[in-house]
């Protein structure tokens, strides 16, 4: 039997017999001739069937085709400039229905996002969504290449924990035999453990879980976390250096491979950051934002979503950068394990990364000195006993270290200028969404 | 300040000033001279401190060093053939204690595996364990490269599910807001969904969860699953072809990068499979094993662990292969979604892969035709209603497809001839192990 040819490989062939496989996109069933647009994972092409004598069986099959039906086609490839779709068509010599689609397609182009998520596997068949996940594949691959080339060790940290990781809030509880376990909200403790274990540099791209009951465009109960952690840093600036280079590498790879397709399908230009990402202390950033007219309503010193958007606009206008690091957050709004400044214990050696006005990542140098760490736990009013297993990591020698965690879907969302996480997650999970 | 040099990069330098950072392995505190072996993520080297005038502060610091203490050292590198450890040493000019280790090291070389797991971060500091996870990193990287080069899409499937995936047994239950969710036992349903979504070829390396109360050397409640799924196959033979090539690629990469180190540290030769992996129908394999003296005690037609070991020995003796595919399992011992043979519905188009006498993977062509799938669910006495969201994937066209799932830690265990999963998992999780 002829080997299958992918549709995007047809153009490079000579006229002649081919076998292609995919699903029915559209059918034009005319009196003298039938046309089918067939789509596969690489593209779409036109099939043609003249309704001539001896071809009745093929014609009948085509007349009954529903959108989505999976077909194996053998036929004759013919280059033809008049065919709008790729300048070629395949004249069917045999057609095999591999699996029939229900003719009532449950979603349309204008269906709501919630309806489309109910039928996500159909929604994913579009060129647009296919391209989205190919771009994500290139992005993760480029990031792992970056780390691999620099001798990072890949870790697969456990998702079951005996106690809370960073806080007791928003924690999922699992029935674990006769006891309970909790789902990791991040690999934080375990990627730090890799530093005490002498791994030097470690990374992980894997799931994390937050029992967050909110319904914003930026939250999910389960998300893919991109994490890296490195030893022997001088400060959080070393972590920012690494993350900045990582993002440049990832965006460069996506632009090279899919930049033109993304321009055509999403009307989005992938901009390779040319300038260094500006690094602005958070308190200065708040002043900048206020001077541009924004009023903070929250009581603490953190940014709010509109503040992030405003500092994003500022970074673009003043520094020509879609990215901006907000640094040196007050200790009051950072977790206990962020290292504090030697000369001002009210500030931490930490940062958030904002891309196109949305926070995508938090990083910091971690406190590796057991006395300071214990003091910071007390300072936060946390229970040192529950964290004792974690404190052990610092009782037998721990190097200075730091790292970041970054939301993969947030990256994809911002790269492709998408309005929310639901659009860019393979299968979104939220408080009231567990299926499909 | 001088840049840090990794210890394995010292040998390529000229004599002169260097800065190195790592932890104390051993101290020899003699009258006239002190020696410290310092280890970092790349190796170990000898530090020397002559107890001469003006160096008392350094000497005192060294006298108080505990194993594990993290140090930043500046000193003079000198090549010296007489030094057994790498033919070089560093004469200390400054020593900075970054974090002190508790002098009572809780584990020793002869500690039990359970005790070592309590202190996994110390256990991981050994050259042996460091090498293990570097080898795993190369293995996963090579597999992803294989897929990436062939245009697979990486998927991050959800770990939360509304219903059971493959069976109701061994399922972890999560308190999910006002309801419940279950943790995915495998990405099975969702990697199949990628085929209905027209992704063509998809892969994932991620966690899976089984509430398995057993304590064997081969089971864990949480494990890293290596999964691939491809469309438009002719039969399960296509899946085996891909998996065989994938494993060859992965082992080749590990051998090239770490083959010599693995030989030295583990006394294990990484054998690149030269011959095709033999493919033996399960029922024949049982006969072979019985003819070699093994008696099956279980009532069903499956293999047992000793049977696997025996067929492993047979494959090595008769085919010079560490690997053997056992194919065409009876439908009675396979999940409902495995496709059955056209000419014998009692057999499935499935396989297990056995490496060095241990099963590491299960693969199959999946049933993609809705009528057959529904019939097979009924045949197994399962509830089609709970599977309705999954059946939807096959109601709007689904291509013929198949794939496999493989345990990452099992691969590492068998590659390095290790006795159990606990040794080769970054942080093992079992019924009574949730910490650290």
pLDDT tens-digit series, residues A134-164 = 999 999 999 999 999 999 999 999 999 998 7
Q: Which residues of B touch A172 (CB under 8 A)?
A: 174-176
pLDDT of residue A166: 67
How far apart (Å, rounded) are the C-alpha atoms in residues B395 and B373? 11
Q: Are B191 and B67 contained in the same domain?
A: no
pLDDT tens-digit series, residues A415-432 = 999 999 999 999 999 998
Determine the structural domain holding residue A267 and report its residue range.
120-424
Give the residue-averaged pLDDT of B259-269. 98
Q: Which residues of A touch B199 (CB under 8 A)?
A: 41, 124, 130, 133
Q: Are B92 and B135 contained in the same domain?
A: no
Among the partner-chain residues A99, A190, A370, the one whose CB lies closest to the CB of B394 is A99
Handedness of CA B296, B298, B302, B304 (dihedral sign): negative
Nearest CA in chain B to A391: B436
- One DSSP character per residue, B94-133 reads EEEEEEPBPSS-S--TT--HHHHHHTHHHHTTSHHHHHHH
Mark out the alpha helices in B303-387 (DSSP H runs). Answer: 305-319, 370-379
Share of chain B above pLDDT 90, in %: 92
* Pairwise CB contact (< 8 Å): A122 & B98: no
Contacts of A331 (CB under 8 A, 6+ apart): A338, A340, A345, A346, A347, A348, A376, A379
Contacts of A339 (CB under 8 A, 6+ apart): A236, A348, A349, A350, A364, A365, A366, A367, A368, A372, A402
Instruction: Please indicate, yes or no, if residue A106 is contained in any of the structural domains.
Output: no
Nearest CA in chain B to A136: B154
Annotated binding site of B for ATP: 359, 407-410
First-to-final CA distance of chain A: 37
* Pairwise CB contact (< 8 Å): A224 & B156: yes
pLDDT of residue A2: 74
Instruction: Please indicate, yes or no, if residue A63 is contained in any of the structural domains.
Output: yes
The angle subtended at Cα A123 by Cα A119 and Cα A124, nearest 5°, is 120
Interface of B with A in 363-392 (CB under 8 A): 368-370, 389-390, 392
- One DSSP character per residue, B159-170 reads SEESS-SS-STT
Instruction: Please indicate, yes or no, if residue A2 is contained in any of the structural domains.
Output: no
Give the residue-averaged pLDDT of B119-125. 97
Give the residue-averaged pLDDT of B233-257. 98
pLDDT tens-digit series, residues A203-232 = 999 999 999 888 776 789 999 999 999 999
Instruction: Please indicate, yes or no, if residue A127 is contained in any of the structural domains.
Output: yes
Instruction: Please indicate, yes or no, if residue A401 is contained in any of the structural domains.
Output: yes
Residue B136 CA: distances (Å) to CA of A73, B263, B425 = 42, 15, 10
Q: Please, what is the average pLDDT of chain B? A: 95
Contacts of residues A3-11 at CB distance under 8 Å and 24 or more positions apart, as own/partner, are: A4/B232, A6/A40, A6/A41, A6/A42, A6/A43, A7/A38, A7/A39, A7/A40, A7/A42, A7/A43, A7/A44, A7/A45, A8/A42, A8/A43, A9/A42, A10/A45, A10/A77, A10/A86, A10/A88, A10/A90, A11/A79, A11/A86, A11/A87, A11/A88
How far apart (Å, rounded) are the C-alpha atoms in residues B422 and B409? 9
| CATH code at position B247 | 3.30.930.10
The burial of A288, by beta-carbon neighbours within 10 Å (0-12 exposed, 13-18 middle, 19 or more buried), is given as middle
Contact B379, B336 (CB under 8 A): yes
Q: Are A216 and A342 contained in the same domain?
A: yes
pLDDT tens-digit series, residues A26-46 = 999 999 999 999 999 999 999
pLDDT surpassing 70 at residue B349: yes
Annotated binding site of A for L-aspartate: 166, 210, 362, 366
Among the partner-chain residues B160, B201, B432, the one whose CB lies closest to the CB of A222 is B160
Q: Are B378 and B242 contained in the same domain?
A: yes
Give the residue-averaged pLDDT of B211-219. 79
Q: Is B397 left (phi over 0), alpha (psi -120 to 50) or beta?
A: left
Contact B156, B171 (CB under 8 A): no
Contact B383, B183 (CB under 8 A): no
Q: Are B66 and B161 contained in the same domain?
A: no
pLDDT of residue A169: 77
What does R_g of chain B's alpha carbons equal in angstroms?
Answer: 27
pLDDT tens-digit series, residues A75-115 = 999 999 999 999 999 999 999 999 999 999 899 989 999 99
Q: Are A132 and A40 contained in the same domain?
A: no
The angle subtended at Cα B15 by Cα B12 and Cα B18, nearest 5°, is 80
β A88-99/A43-50 pair status: parallel
Instruction: Compute the count of residue pairs across chains A and B with CB atoms less than 8 Å apart.
Output: 261
pLDDT of residue B177: 93
Place of tokens 């990582």: A246
pLDDT of residue B287: 97
Closest Cα to residue B342, out of B225, B250, B267, B235? B235
Residue A39 CA: distances (Å) to CA of A3, A31, A81, B198, B378 = 17, 24, 20, 9, 33
Nearest CA in chain B to A162: B434
How far apart (Å, rounded) are the C-alpha atoms in residues A334 and A409? 23
Least confident of A31-40, B52-61, B208-217: B208-217
Least confident of B60-64, B109-113, B231-235, B290-294: B109-113
The domain total for chain B is: 2
pLDDT tens-digit series, residues B151-169 = 999 999 999 999 876 666 7
How far away is chain B from the Cα of A292, in angstroms, using its nearest Cα? 40
| CATH code at position B91 | 2.40.50.140
Instruction: Please indicate, yes or no, if residue B429 is contained in any of the structural domains.
Output: no
Give the residue-averaged pLDDT of B67-83. 97
Q: Are A270 and A409 contained in the same domain?
A: yes
Hey, what are B250's tokens?
């992965």
B44 forms bridges with which residues in the sheet?
B39
Contacts of B403 (CB under 8 A, 6+ apart): B191, B192, B227, B228, B229, B230, B239, B363, B364, B366
Among the partner-chain residues B68, B154, B398, the one whose CB lies closest to the CB of A70 is B398
pLDDT of residue B1: 55
* Pairwise CB contact (< 8 Å): A198 & B23: yes
pLDDT of residue A154: 98
Contacts of B276 (CB under 8 A, 6+ apart): B244, B321
Least confident of A33-37, A200-204, A386-390, B1-5: B1-5
pLDDT tens-digit series, residues B193-208 = 999 999 999 999 999 9
Interface of B with A in 57-76 (CB under 8 A): 66, 68-70
Q: Are B33 and B148 contained in the same domain?
A: no
Whether the CB of B174 is below 8 Å from some CB of chain A: the reply is: yes
Q: Which residues of B touch A339 (CB under 8 A)?
A: none
How far apart (Å, rounded) are the C-alpha atoms in residues B56 and B50? 10
Sorting pLDDT into bands at 50, 70 and 90, what band is A184?
very high
pLDDT of residue B165: 63
How far apart (Å, rounded) are the C-alpha atoms in residues B390 and A102? 15
Interface of A with B in 109-168 (CB under 8 A): 119-122, 124-125, 129-130, 133-134, 136-137, 140-141, 144, 148, 151-162
B183 forms bridges with which residues in the sheet?
B160
Q: Which residues of A touch B232 (CB under 8 A)?
A: 4, 21
pLDDT tens-digit series, residues A279-322 = 999 999 999 999 999 999 988 999 999 999 999 999 999 999 99
How far apart (Å, rounded) are the C-alpha atoms in residues B310 and B302? 14
* Pairwise CB contact (< 8 Å): B397 & A174: no
DSSP letter (8 states) at residue B14: P
pLDDT of residue A391: 96
Number of residues assigned to chain A: 436
Contact B277, B321 (CB under 8 A): yes
pLDDT tens-digit series, residues B371-399 = 999 999 999 999 888 899 999 999 999 99
CA A167 to chain centre: 25
pLDDT surpassing 80 at residue B434: yes
* Pairwise CB contact (< 8 Å): A426 & B156: yes
pLDDT of residue B183: 96
Q: Are A182 and A45 contained in the same domain?
A: no
pLDDT of residue A348: 98
Place of tokens 């039969």: B235
Hey, what are A406's tokens?
């970054």
Closest Cα to residue A325, out of A293, A350, A342, A343? A350
Instruction: Please indicate, yes or no, if residue A417 is contained in any of the structural domains.
Output: yes
Number of neighbours of residue B381 by Cβ within 10 angstroms: 7
Give the residue-averaged pLDDT of A14-36. 97
Instruction: Please indicate, yes or no, if residue A272 is contained in any of the structural domains.
Output: yes
DSSP letter (8 states) at residue A210: -
pLDDT of residue A109: 85
The burial of A41, by beta-carbon neighbours within 10 Å (0-12 exposed, 13-18 middle, 19 or more buried), is given as buried
What does R_g of chain A's alpha carbons equal in angstroms?
Answer: 27
pLDDT surpassing 90 at residue B425: yes
How far apart (Å, rounded) are the C-alpha atoms in residues B268 and A2? 44
Q: Which residues of B touch A385 (CB under 8 A)?
A: none
How far apart (Å, rounded) are the C-alpha atoms in residues A151 and B126? 17
* Pairwise CB contact (< 8 Å): B396 & A39: no
Sorting pLDDT into bands at 50, 70 and 90, what band is A275?
confident
pLDDT tens-digit series, residues A338-387 = 999 999 999 999 999 999 999 999 999 999 999 999 999 999 999 888 89
Q: Are B152 and B66 contained in the same domain?
A: no
Q: At what angle do helices A127-149 and A236-266 cross, to 10 degrees?
A: 150
Q: Are B89 and B136 contained in the same domain?
A: no
The angle subtended at Cα B322 by Cα B321 and Cα B324, nearest 5°, is 75
Q: Are B15 and B130 contained in the same domain?
A: no
Cis peptide preceding A384, ω within 30 of 0: no
């Amino acid at each position: 039997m002829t080997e299958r040819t992918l549709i995007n490989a047809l153009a490079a062939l000579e006229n002649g017999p081919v076998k292609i496989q995919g699903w029915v996109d559209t059918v034009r069933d005319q009196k003298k001739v039938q046309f089918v647009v067939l789509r596969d994972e690489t593209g779409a092409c036109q099939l043609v069937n003249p309704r001539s004598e001896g071809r009745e069986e093929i014609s009948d099959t085509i007349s009954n085709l529903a959108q989505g039906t999976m077909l194996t086609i053998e036929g004759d490839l013919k280059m033809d400039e008049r065919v709008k779709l790729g300048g070629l068509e395949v004249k069917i010599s045999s057609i095999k229905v591999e699996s029939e689609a229900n003719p009532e397609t449950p979603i349309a182009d204008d269906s709501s996002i919630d309806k489309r998520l109910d039928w996500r596997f159909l929604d994913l068949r579009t060129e647009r969504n296919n391209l989205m996940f190919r771009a994500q594949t290139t992005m993760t691959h480029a990031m792992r290449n970056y780390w691999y080339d620099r001798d990072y060790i890949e870790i697969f940290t456990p998702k079951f924990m005996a106690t809370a990781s960073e806080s007791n809030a928003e924690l999922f509880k699992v029935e674990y035999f006769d006891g309970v376990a909790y789902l990791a909200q991040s690999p934080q403790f375990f990627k730090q453990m890799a530093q005490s274990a002498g791994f030097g540099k470690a990374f992980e791209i894997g799931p994390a879980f937050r029992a967050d009951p909110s319904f914003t465009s930026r939250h999910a109960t389960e998300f893919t976390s991109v994490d890296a952690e490195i030893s022997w840093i001088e400060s959080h600036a070393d972590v920012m250096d690494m993350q900045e280079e990582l993002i440049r590498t990832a965006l460069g790879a996506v632009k090279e491979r899919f930049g033109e397709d993304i321009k055509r399908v999403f009307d989005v230009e992938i901009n390779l950051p040319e300038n260094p990402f500006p690094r602005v202390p958070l308190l200065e950033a708040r002043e900048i934002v206020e001077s541009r007219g924004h009023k903070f309503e929250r009581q603490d010193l953190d940014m709010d979503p509109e503040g992030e958007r405003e500092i994003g606009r500022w970074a673009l206008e003043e520094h020509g950068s879609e990215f901006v690091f907000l640094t040196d957050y007050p200790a009051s709004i950072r977790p206990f394990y962020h290292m504090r400044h030697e000369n001002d214990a009210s500030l931490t050696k930490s940062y958030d990364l904002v891309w196109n006005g949305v926070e995508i990542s938090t990083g910091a140098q971690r406190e590796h000195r057991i006395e300071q760490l214990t003091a910071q736990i007390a300072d936060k009013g946390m229970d040192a006993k529950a964290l004792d297993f974690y404190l052990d990591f610092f009782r037998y020698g721990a190097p200075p270290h730091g790292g970041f965690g970054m939301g993969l879907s947030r990256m994809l969302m911002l790269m492709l200028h998408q309005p929310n996480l639901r659009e860019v997650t393979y299968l979104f999970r939220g408080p009231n969404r567990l299926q499909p």
